[in-house]
Amino acid sequence: MPDASGKMQDVRSKKQEMRRKKILPLSSRLLPLASCNLRLDAYFMIEALKEAQKAVKKGEVPIGAVIVCDDKIIARGHNLKESAADPTSHAEIIAIRKASKKLGKWRLLNATIYVTLEPCLMCMGALIQARVSRLVFGSYDPKAGACGSVYDVSNDKRLNHRIAVTTGVMAGECEKILKDFFRDLRR
């Protein structure tokens, strides 16, 4: 009976559709993915904050960074400007050097860098040179930030590389570690 089986199939597919709609309405289909990305970003920012903590112990301005490829940390770095007596020893530069060494190439395509503070002009230049695809930072640096504060070179059409940027991830914690450091320094 082709008619009955056709009806049966129709009912079944309607039921399936209803079930699909009930279980996966558009909002809940998008939300887990978004919240998963947020959780991942927060997770890696906590790792960058751990790097910043290492800087505190060395009396360095607490800025930390991690570089992530395929959801794995491939390099870490924290500010070492004072101990290395080197103005280029920023967390990002150290992490970029380690990542390039580890991968054996200077192109860090598909890499995401997590930094506790908005990168400076030198570090943004290095991120563009390294072709890093995404930057996630915690708090803005109104005095020296080159990703929206003083300059924005992440999306400058005159340059040959653009970087996707996510800001404000764990901004409170990233700001606090710096504030606490400078408060203790004044004591």
Q: Are 181 and 62 in contact (CB under 8 A)?
A: yes
Residues 6 or more apart in contact with residue 51 via CB below 8 angstroms: 64, 65, 66, 76, 77, 78, 91, 116
Angle at 48 between CA 44 and CA 50, to 5 degrees: 110
Please identify the residue of the shown chain whose CB is closest to the bound Zn ion: 123
Catalytic residue chosen out of the listed positions 51, 92, 173, 175: 92
- The smaller minimum CB distance to Zn ion, of residues 56 and 123, is found at 123
Asked if 173 is an active-site residue, the reply is no
- The smaller minimum CB distance to Zn ion, of residues 81 and 134, is found at 81
Give 137's strand partners: 115, 167
Contacts (CB under 5 A) with Zn ion, residues 8-47:
none
For position 61 contacting Zn ion by CB under 5 A, the verdict is no
Residues 80-119, mask of contacts with Zn ion (x by CB under 5 A): ----------x-----------------------------
Q: Per the structure block, which two tokens stand in for 73?
A: 């940390």
Q: Which helix (H) or strand (E) holds 155?
A: none
CA distance 169 to 47: 12
Q: Per the structure block, which two tokens stand in for 160?
A: 């040959």
Among 55, 123, 130, 174, binds Zn ion (CB under 5 A): 123
Per-residue burial over 47-60, b if 16 or more Cβ lie within 10 Å, else e, is ebbebbebbbeeeb
- The smaller minimum CB distance to Zn ion, of residues 17 and 86, is found at 86
Among 80, 120, 132, 135, binds Zn ion (CB under 5 A): 120
- The smaller minimum CB distance to Zn ion, of residues 108 and 120, is found at 120
Binding site for Zn ion (CB under 5 A): 90, 120, 123
- Annotated catalytic residues are 92
